[in-house]
Amino acid sequence: MAKKLYVGNLPYSATEDSLMNKFSQFGTVDSVRIITDRDTGRSKGFGFVEMSSDDDASRAVNEMNGKEFEGRTLTVNEARPQEPRAPRSGGFGGGRSGGGRSFGGGRGGNY
């Protein structure tokens, strides 16, 4: 069974290939994904590595957590399941619903 690992504090220079090469020392790597900002394309400094077995994943956590990688000290642990996201609204998200101003007296009244 594959085990997904969270890898934090990644250097911005890290690539998915360099991360795969580093983690393949501990077993078979099924996938690597560095999370990027969708507007800039720049790394957010964390990613996920999926190892093919629990033993490989445990070995990788024990060996890589707190170790330096390209000048940064990594945080490596078992990834938590992703929490469901609230649906994105398509509108402007404002608080009030339309309507005109009311000054108390209704139509044509004295203000």
- Helices 16-23 & 54-64 angle (0-180, nearest 10): 100
Q: Enter the tokens of residue 72.
A: 């940064």
**Is residue 19 classed as helix, strand or coil in its secondary structure?**
helix
Please tell us whether the domain made up of 3-78 is placed in CATH 3.50.50.60: no
φ, ψ for residue 109, nearest 5 deg: -80, 175
pLDDT in the model for residue 20: 97
Domain boundaries, the chain: 3-78
Residue 109: which pLDDT band, with cuts at 50, 70 and 90? Answer: low
**Helix, strand, or coil (residue 30):** strand
Provide the whole-model pTM.
0.73
Name, in order, each residue with C-beta under 8 angstroms of 79's C-beta and a sequence gap of 6 or more: 4, 5, 6, 48
